[in-house]
Amino acid sequence: MFRPRPDAPGATIAVEVEGQTVMVPQGASAAAAVLLAGLAAIRETAISGSGRAPYCMMGVCFDCLAEIDGVPNRQSCMVPARTGMRIRRRRGARAIDPNNAPDDSPSFPIPEPRSGGA
């Protein structure tokens, strides 16, 4: 469905999108790699599980959220593609288990709370 513009520089960067190797030009975003891979969706929404693919390509619509190099829910249109990058489908809401989270309480000082109370 998508192809690089004729004036785009050569596709020199190899990224992996859901197990598929995709070549993209220098400066392309991870979302561009998703589109070039021809996937119908790169995430399933947190509530209804419906499929979503990159749409606005400018950081506004949040439909391109994907797992990139193990980090879930990154805005792939805002992340430049790098050689060896692994882009995976994001399925539903982020699962976290606070009960089993490492208790590495941060050591920075406590910032002032919002003052007042009216």
Q: Which residues bind other proteins (CB under 8 A)?
A: 46-47, 62, 65, 71-75, 93-96, 98-99, 101-106, 108, 110-118
Is 81:24 a contact under the CB 8 Å cutoff? yes
Shortest Å, Cβ 101 to other proteins = 4
Alpha carbons 38 and 22: distance in angstroms, whole number: 10
Closer to other proteins by Cβ: residue 6 or 100: 100
* Pairing state between β 86-88 and 11-17: parallel
Distance CA 85, CA 21 (A): 10
**Would you say 46 or 56 has its CB closer to other proteins?**
46
Shortest Å, Cβ 4 to other proteins: 28
Which residue number, 2 or 46, has a Cβ lying nearer to other proteins? 46
- The minimum distance between CB 38 and other proteins, in angstroms, equals 26
Quote the tokens at residue 89.
Answer: 């489908």
Pick between residue 46 and residue 58 the one whose CB is nearest to other proteins: 46
Residues 79/67, Cβ–Cβ less than 8 Å = no
